Amino acid sequence: MTKSSIRRFNWTPGLIVGIVLLAAMALIGVLAPLFLGTAANTLGDRSLAPSAEHLLGTDQAGHDMFARSLVATRLTLMMTLGATAIAVLVGIIIGTSVWLMPRRAREGSLRVIDTMVAFPGLLLALVVAAILGAGAIPAVIAIGVAGIPTFARLTANLAAQVSQREYVSTARLLGVGNRRMVVDHLLPNMAEPLFVLAASNFAQSLTAISALSFVGLGVQSPQYDYGKLLNEALPSLLAGRPEQTVGPAVLIVITGLAAMLLGDGLAAAADPRSGRRAAFRGTQQKGTASAASSTAIVNVENLVISTSAGKPLVKGISFTINRGEIVGIVGESGSGKSLTAMSIARLLPDGLDASAAAMGLDGINLLGKVDQKTLAQTVSLIYQDPGSTFNPALKMGTQLTEVLRTHRGQSRAVARTTILDALRRVKMTLPEKRMGQHPHELSGGMRQRAMIAAAMATSPSLIIADEPTTALDVTVQAEILREIKRLNRDFDTAVMFISHDIGVVKALCDRVLVMNGGEIVEEINASQLDVDSVSHPYTKALLAATPSVTEKLSELPVLEWRTAEMKEASR
């Protein structure tokens, strides 16, 4: 994986809380036996009620339940970690090894794993514990073994995806050994989800170990963990004195909650919609994006977009867009046009990472933490196919007013008035009626007008139009282009216009960026976009491939002659 594809870690509030809680529990596990060990094991008056001296009272043997609960943390955490380690390590070995086997052996192994997963984990743990006998170590082994099938299956599913990638096939072709295949190729690309699964397994192991001790198959006297304390407090609970169960019960909940928050936080950090989508790295993390941002709405320097495997899709491009300027981006499919635009809106597809030396949008530093509310009002998007953009189950009014209600806090009535004005500006017929209709009740041109109205309603600094007229007929296309030009002229809105249609780009745009293979190969004024004026061979080839109206008209006599010839032959 290249350095540019390493993404900035996403520290979510849940992740931070989970780490703090687990750190606190670990600290209790280390310090409590040292400072409260004597109080926890000293016998005193039996079955005392909670008091200043004994915060949770004493048990039937006279032990201080508060001290005893805290001291039990060390053994409980150690047992839980042991069981989790067994499930995780053995599960990873089995799950990754399956995909290194021959096909028939792999299919058979997967069927065996599926069968074991179908067997209830806790019941399997009870069977193993009954065979090994009661005690702390047998309980750890039992819970660890019970967790192996689930972890192995999940690991196998992850390995199945990674093993199909080209770099794994290349490694096999080069004769890389199984150990290096797992360590160098499979595990590094599975690390994040495996951490998430391990955190979830920790919480499950904690509950299962406590359950074994509660039923007498876990820790035995004189040792005690949370489950053992709950077992000893059961008579008091039945007698109407639940305070003795408070300590271990609360600590189980806190530890389990901490593990789940940690897992959710790691998942959020690994999720493309929260972490990877905004996976930008740059040399500047504070302040403005660069000095150029004072004169340009958009300023991008050395933008690199890569896959999770490190393959670059956009290769270090730089450009600016000034206020009130329409910049066209042209190039064949796969050249990186849409990825470049989506990186500015921080809407990169799943699994892609972006880095840049500087990246600014109207004063917003896109390399740092960006307020989504501000971003949603600064940039608007017009997609190629409005039919797939609008939710078919919701009426247009609900969807068109959503941004105003969510990000500007407008009431439903005020947002509706704003959108109606926007619809009238884009020449939508019967706008009040359209607000009450579903998307399928509108024509393609109407849906595109509605999308433009929604885009302009927030008075954005930049509109990204990604093939906005490709799916429309020529008449509607001309109307939509006129609306985009009018928005640009009347509101001084910058526009990034992506299209395959060279003629449209030349007529609409002020400046054109030509992209090929993830690079900007030429930048030229739109008025000079012709074969005689451009300099790069790719741009010349792109223009030469564009159909010429003059050439087509010159072919008409030939077509007429051929048609007449065919008619004559058919007589």
Domain ranges in the chain are 16-40+55-270, 280-529
Q: Of the candidates 408, 389, 395, which has an alpha carbon nearest to the alpha carbon of residue 458?
A: 408
Is the sign of the CA dihedral 287, 289, 294, 298 positive or negative? negative
Q: How far apart are CA 346 and CA 272, in angstroms?
A: 11
Per-residue pLDDT of the chain (571 residues; tens, 9 = 90+): 333 333 455 677 888 898 999 999 999 999 999 999 888 888 888 878 888 888 888 888 888 889 999 999 999 999 999 999 999 999 999 988 887 787 778 788 888 888 887 777 767 777 777 788 888 898 899 889 888 888 888 888 888 877 766 456 545 544 556 777 787 777 877 777 788 888 888 988 998 899 888 888 888 888 999 999 998 888 877 777 788 888 899 999 999 899 888 877 776 665 443 444 444 555 443 333 333 434 688 999 999 999 877 888 999 999 999 988 999 999 888 888 989 988 888 878 767 888 888 898 888 888 878 777 788 778 888 877 666 667 666 788 887 887 787 667 788 899 899 999 888 887 888 999 999 998 888 887 888 888 888 887 878 889 998 888 766 677 777 777 887 888 888 888 899 999 888 888 888 899 999 999 899 999 999 888 888 888 899 988 888 876 654 443 344 343 343 334 434 443 4
pLDDT confidence of residue 433: 93
Q: Which pTM value belongs to this model?
A: 0.49
Judge contact between 500 and 400, C-beta under 8 A: no
SS3 content of the chain, % helix, strand, coil (to 5): 60, 10, 30
Q: How far apart are CA 223 and CA 250, in angstroms?
A: 20
pLDDT confidence of residue 282: 52
pLDDT confidence of residue 165: 62
User: Strands, DSSP E only, in 203-322?
Assistant: 280-281, 298-307, 312-321
pLDDT confidence of residue 346: 82
> Nearest-5° angle of CA 404, CA 406, CA 410?
50
Q: How many CB atoms lie within 10 A of CB 341?
A: 20
Q: What does residue 86 show for φ and ψ, rounded to 5 degrees? A: -60, -50
CATH number attached to the domain at 280-529: 3.40.50.300
Q: How many CB atoms lie within 10 A of CB 130?
A: 12
pLDDT confidence of residue 164: 67
| Token pair recorded at residue 291 | 């000095």
pLDDT confidence of residue 271: 47
* CATH architecture for the domain at 16-40+55-270: Orthogonal Bundle (1.10)
| Token pair recorded at residue 295 | 């004169």
